[in-house]
Structure 1
Amino acid sequence: MKNHEQWTSKLGFILAAAGSAIGLGAIWKFPYMAGTNGGAIFFLLFIILTILVGAPILIAEFVIGRNTQRDAVRAYRKLAPQTNWHFLGLAGVTFSFILLSFYSVVGGWILSYLVRSFTGRLANADYGNLFNDIISNPAEVIISQFIFIVITILVVKGGVQKGIERASKYLMPALFIFFIVLAIRSVTLEGSAAGLEFLLKPDFSVMSGETVLLALGQAFFTLSVGISVMVTYASYLSKSENIAKSAFSVAGLNILICFLAGLVIFPAVFALGFEPGQGPGLVFVVLPAVFNEMAFGSIFLIIFLFLLLFATLTSAFSILEIVVAVLVKDEKEKRGKITWISGMLIFLVGVPSALSFGVLSDVQIFGRSIFDAADFLVSNIGLPVGAFFISLFVGYRLPRQLVKEELALGTNGVGLLFDIWYFSIRYVAPIAIVIVFLNSIGILS
């Protein structure tokens, strides 16, 4: 095998993995999912499921990737030769393909807003109507989605060190700092207290099996687990790093950014008279209105949209990387060509999702738009099912000693914490996923 590229530092890996995890999952999707599913109760379930189910599976993916130093398909082939476990990696690649196809549509929306912010056309606009005008314009959504995919391709084809890691090191901290500033402004708006209560005071009466399923899907979506993205990222990780500590760093940053996103959005929603259940357009409608309430708001809006675009791109990098890594197989000379071909195919598959709020708005798949159907397929079926089989693979297929030795690398040894994690990956995670699924389809309700 030719030399396998690696991250240059632990910090670079954590920031890149956190960028993949945070992305639109925390900033775009979490606020609207929480807004349409009870606010604080959804947030509470999300935290619990991230810690008890999401983080253990994230560690499991790190174990698979770092141990094998292989892509998502060959990693399973190496650990379980002459079995069908490699189909788990192939499923991950397939769902990653679908995920980026609709994810790039949202990236395109951000680009449309960014262009308008530079030209001054966002100032004092009717943001609800503006958002609807953008997403229903076929030429604009397709062109902006195409540009987003091209940016993603240009970075990913540069590889791990020169492309993904270099971009993440500088812009992830900037995004975090800016969100803190924005959250402070949001909670100081008059009437923001109702938004804080919506985010922080759970109402258990609105909880249902579907709420738990959606919270579980959100935990997996924001951590990028279940489709072997983190198997691929961890394959570039040095044997000297502590993967458990890295995993909890990523999970902790993920919860923190979701909390900050909630602090930015919901106090402003209630203070400015919006509805929290607006759906996918929530961030695009509320945040520009928040900036209107700030001194030099137009400048801050441009900075924020730029950082939001970066957060979106960091997730797109990781999703495209899993597809490219499987096809490149360490043959670096093929990387550029394969990245372009993969990216363009993903763009074409995503065109119906881009048009699903305009010319294809009447097309429904099981009562959902094309965009929402693709999102539901990945977030609430692909990710949980993939996470279920990953927990079984690490918990039952891999030798316990191999897993323990892998987790011990870069540490002074593992003891009780390993036993707790191993129990979780064998019993808690898979049982929780099954119970949530059965409850969501009405069998246990």
Structure 2
Amino acid sequence: MSAPREMLGSRLGFLLLSAGCAIGLGNVWRFPYITGAYGGAALVGIYLLCLLAVTPILVMELAVGRAARCNMGRALKVLEPAGTCWHRCGWFALVGSYLLMMFYTTVTGWLLAYCWYMATGALNGLDPAGVGRFFQGMLARPSVQVLSMSLVVLTGCAVCALGVRRGVERVVKFMMLGLLLILLALVLRAVTLPGAGAGIAFYLAPDPQRLSQAGIFTAINAAMNQAFFTISVGIGSMTIFGSYQPKDRSLTGEAALIVGLDTFVAIMAGLIIFPACFAFGVNPGAGPGLVFVTLPNIFNSMEGGQIWGTLFFIFMGFAALSTVIAVFENIISYSVDVWGMPRRRATLLHLLGLWLCSLPCGLGFNVLSDVHPLGPGSTVLDLEDFLISNNLLFAGTLLFLFFCTTRRGWGWENFLAEANAGRGLRFPAGLRFYLRWVLPCLIAGIFIMGYVERLGGS
């Protein structure tokens, strides 16, 4: 007889753990950028509507996990009707999580390295060009890349080895509470900088002209893309946390709180970035350059900048590490649930596997810098990001949609019963047509746009 499934210790732990999986780098460097580029508050309104449109997928992942009490890899087999083959797609949980972590561990390593650099004053006194050279120099050093990535992998696996309640829940709860406190402190500092008002207006005041210049369809696609990826669905990372959740609360209400916390962090991140950029006359760019080049320049110009810069990178490190630990738990639980492997042995196995699979990304900026898998200028990181973000996540999301809405899957009635078990917000039963036919078309549209953008830029 198998041992009873370990459960999370509290509702707060579940909410912070699930939100920690969703809150990541995209909240800080992508959401503020698209908001500023596509019309400020006008884009925020579109984004919130898009987020409402895709939140049911999060409820589905949580429901599948809670009903089956296991990882996505086994849950599909437990819940599928006899004679069907949904279980053959269970590998999405393992392969998708590995693909995500193959580059996420490297970028998280950059953040940990910058915590050290900011705290020790390594960036003090550098002009803007010097900060850019510093970042490029860090990328060019294989030793720094491998060491920082290894620290991330070791940390994630060590936390998961302690178990769900003693390790994953306890550590991520601490990180998330620390993240929120540091976030509020940074926001208060940023909005009180001289000239910060212009940045706040650029960020949040509705600007129909900017929206019109960018194109309403382009803005909607950007908002939908951000909403889709911010809730971290498609590879079972939310399924596993649903499996650790008791049935005393309805999953729709829990999903709404998770999405609300994720959105709060994204909006607050913009209230750090835009006021600071406008206060010091810096153009807020997107992507790694914003975090690792633009913002360090601002901290260098700010009174007490070394302290605020260190706090910022601790905040970023917590956001990234919480995602790493959550996805590592999904990977390790796959071996426990599907292969019947003891947790400690599974952790050791994936520590080695994740470390080896993360090497190409870290070395892609130095030893493997001549490798351009998606055309001139592309890196190994670009390929890995494209495979997971533009392909496997879409396939995994469609899998959950069809599994929960079709008769040959788990079925609509079974899904509704699980989603509505317990106290709280009820899932709207009238959404079946939308989820069965409309949302898959929206997802297909984002998938096609991703390839159009990729082919157009190559």
Fold shared by both chains (TM-score > 0.5): yes
For residues 270-305 of structure 1, give each alpha carbon's deviation from its aligned partner in whole angstroms, at most 9, with x where no partner exists: 333333335323112233344445543323333332
Moved more, 348-357 or 138-147: 348-357
* Aligned partner of 2:255 among 247, 265, 272: 247
Aligned to 1:314: 322
How far apart, CA to CA, are the structure 2 residues paired with 1:196 and 1:333? 51
* Aligned partner of 1:428 among 438, 454, 458: 438
Deviation at 1:44, TM superposition (A): 4.9
Q: In the alignment, residue 377 of structure 1 is paired with which amino acid?
A: L
Q: Does the C-alpha gap of structure 1 residues 159 and 29 become closer, same or farther in structure 2, counting only changes over 3 Å?
A: farther
Q: Does the C-alpha gap of structure 1 residues 270 and 235 become closer, same or farther in structure 2, counting only changes over 3 Å?
A: same
Is the Cα contact below 8 Å between 2:62 and 2:239 reproduced in 1?
A: yes
Secondary structure (helix, strand or coil) at the match of 2:235 reads coil
Is the Cα contact below 8 Å between 1:216 and 1:384 reproduced in 2?
A: no
Q: Does the C-alpha gap of structure 1 residues 346 and 118 become closer, same or farther in structure 2, counting only changes over 3 Å?
A: same
Q: Does the C-alpha gap of structure 1 residues 210 and 384 become closer, same or farther in structure 2, counting only changes over 3 Å?
A: farther
* Aligned partner of 2:154 among 147, 150, 160: 150
How far apart, CA to CA, are the structure 1 residues paired with 2:52 and 2:13? 23
Aligned to 2:101: 100
How far apart, CA to CA, are the structure 2 residues paired with 1:366 and 1:85? 32
Deviation at 1:216, TM superposition (A): 3.5
Q: Does the C-alpha gap of structure 1 residues 211 and 366 become closer, same or farther in structure 2, counting only changes over 3 Å?
A: farther
Deviation at 1:253, TM superposition (A): 0.9
Aligned to 1:228: 236
Within the alignment, does 1:136 sit opposite 2:146 as a pair?
no
Deviation at 1:420, TM superposition (A): 4.4
Q: Does the C-alpha gap of structure 1 residues 64 and 139 become closer, same or farther in structure 2, counting only changes over 3 Å?
A: same
* Aligned partner of 1:411 among 417, 423, 445: 423
Deviation at 1:43, TM superposition (A): 4.9
How far apart, CA to CA, are the structure 2 residues paired with 1:133 and 1:439? 34
Tell me the percent identity. Answer: 33
Is the Cα contact below 8 Å between 2:153 and 2:355 reproduced in 1?
A: yes
Within the alignment, does 1:402 sit opposite 2:402 as a pair?
no
Is the Cα contact below 8 Å between 1:217 and 1:384 reproduced in 2?
A: no
Is the Cα contact below 8 Å between 2:135 and 2:293 reproduced in 1?
A: yes
How far apart, CA to CA, are the structure 1 residues paired with 2:200 and 2:220? 22
Moved more, 128-137 or 1-10: 128-137
Is the Cα contact below 8 Å between 1:10 and 1:241 reproduced in 2?
A: no
Q: Does the C-alpha gap of structure 1 residues 311 and 437 become closer, same or farther in structure 2, counting only changes over 3 Å?
A: closer
* Aligned partner of 1:369 among 379, 384, 396: 379
How far apart, CA to CA, are the structure 2 residues paired with 1:360 and 1:31? 32
Is the Cα contact below 8 Å between 2:32 and 2:203 reproduced in 1?
A: no
Aligned to 1:437: 447
Secondary structure (helix, strand or coil) at the match of 1:203 reads helix
Instruction: Mark the runs of 5 or more structure 1 residues left unpaired by the alignment.
Output: none
Aligned to 1:22: 23
Q: Does the C-alpha gap of structure 1 residues 212 and 138 become closer, same or farther in structure 2, counting only changes over 3 Å?
A: farther
Deviation at 1:257, TM superposition (A): 0.8
Instruction: Mark the runs of 5 or more structure 2 residues left unpaired by the alignment.
Output: 454-458
Normalising by structure 1, we get a TM-score of 0.90
How far apart, CA to CA, are the structure 2 residues paired with 1:412 and 1:245? 6
For residues 192-249 of structure 1, give each alpha carbon's deviation from its aligned partner in whole angstroms, at most 9, with x where no partner exists: 4453344333523314766655544432332111111101111111121221111011
Deviation at 1:129, TM superposition (A): 2.3
Deviation at 1:408, TM superposition (A): 2.1
* Aligned partner of 2:291 among 283, 289, 296: 283
- Provide the aligned C-alpha RMSD in A: 2.7
How far apart, CA to CA, are the structure 2 residues paired with 1:181 and 1:128? 27
Is the Cα contact below 8 Å between 1:243 and 1:407 reproduced in 2?
A: yes
* Aligned partner of 2:190 among 179, 186, 189: 186
User: What is the correspondence of 1:320-331 to structure 2 with a 5 Å cutoff?
Assistant: 320-329=328-337
